[in-house]
Amino acid sequence: MLVAIEEVVVVVVVVVVVVVVVVVAVVVVVVVVVVVVVVVVSSSSSSSSSSSSSSSIVVVVVVVVVVVVVVVVVVVVVVVVVVVVVEVVVVVVVVVVVVVVISSSSSSRVVVVVVVVVVVVVEVVVVVVVVVVV
């Protein structure tokens, strides 16, 4: 039982680290893109007016596309990570409950079977929903 709890803690820590790294990477990418846009727009505004307006529009469109793609990737990664954490926690809890109930009495084994079936159904539904959403 302690091993199961330790595994849950390790998984949660790893997930938190992954989410933090992804968020920091996204912030860095967005900052770099914004700096590049500011530099390009300011340099193009100092050149001829006809070419600067068209290049500014292109730069703005590229920035919007990059930011949207980055946000979508971050949302997908965070959703997948959260689902993985929830799945691991649920599996560990079910294993602990099954071990405790089986070791306690034989009359509660029916309850264990019902709990396991419900958990498996919930797990399948969660996985299907995540796959459909992603």
The tens digit of pLDDT for each residue in 105-125 reads 666 667 777 777 777 777 778
Identify whether the C-beta of residue 63 lies closer than 8 Å to the C-beta of residue 39: no
Identify whether the C-beta of residue 72 lies closer than 8 Å to the C-beta of residue 64: no
**More confident position, 93 or 109:** 93
**d(Cα 109, Cα 98) in Å, to the nearest integer?**
8
Q: What is the mean pLDDT of residues 45-68?
A: 69
**d(Cα 56, Cα 13) in Å, to the nearest integer?**
43
Examine the pLDDT at 28 and tell me if it is beyond 60. Answer: yes
Distances (CA, A) of 90 to 14, 21, 35, 96: 17, 25, 44, 10
Identify whether the C-beta of residue 94 lies closer than 8 Å to the C-beta of residue 116: yes
Q: What are 101-107's contacts with CB under 8 Å, separation 24+? A: none
- The residues near 26 (Cβ < 8 Å, ≥ 6 apart) are 70, 71, 73, 74
Q: Where are the domains of the chain?
A: 2-133
Examine the pLDDT at 54 and tell me if it is beyond 70. Answer: no
Q: Which amino acid is at 57?
A: I
Q: What is the mean pLDDT of residues 35-59?
A: 68
